[in-house]
Homo-oligomer: A and B are copies of this chain.
Amino acid sequence: MPTSQLGFELDSRLERDSVPLMWLGLCEMRLMNDRRWPWLVLVPQRVGAVEIHDLTPLDQTMLTFETNTVSKALKELTQCQKINIGALGNVVSQLHVHIVARHDRDAAWPGPVWGHGHREPYEPASIHKFIDSVRSKLAHQD
């Protein structure tokens, strides 16, 4: 499927459940507003993309680079046990990639985070602090 950046609009559910964090080359990076897990979401700015294989080969490579850069930074920042990466889209079909830091005593361990219980929004001060720490980590990434 040919995809384009013109006229891209963020899905309303992604907009409601997450907050903007940073623009990358292909994706907008957002933070899921759920304090149960450090949980980032990358949204490629491509109209109509649903599956990763819908993207052009160049965009696929960009998405891989951005996903892995963020994954490495999030692991170092949180000192988590495992990063979970997922592109599901069963509820929100607009292509988005989840990058979640998991600890072995977190709310859903060792199960997946998707669909687990109810979202617990951050306090405003905490979300700003976490956003700043992610931005700072990415600015100093190898």
Q: Which residues of A contact B (CB under 8 A)?
A: 50-53, 57, 60-61, 63-65, 67-69, 71-72, 75, 81-91, 93, 102, 109-112, 114-115
Contacts and interface: CB of A to CB of B under 8 A. Distances in A.
B85 A71 contact: no
Contacts of A90: 81-82, 84, 102, 109-111
A90 to B, nearest CB: 4
- The number of times this chain is found in the oligomer is 2
B75 A82 contact: no
Nearest to A71: B53
A64 to B, nearest CB: 4
Given A114-B111, A115-B111, A84 B75 contact: no
A43 B42 CA distance: 24
A93 to B, nearest CB: 7
A115 B65 CA distance: 29
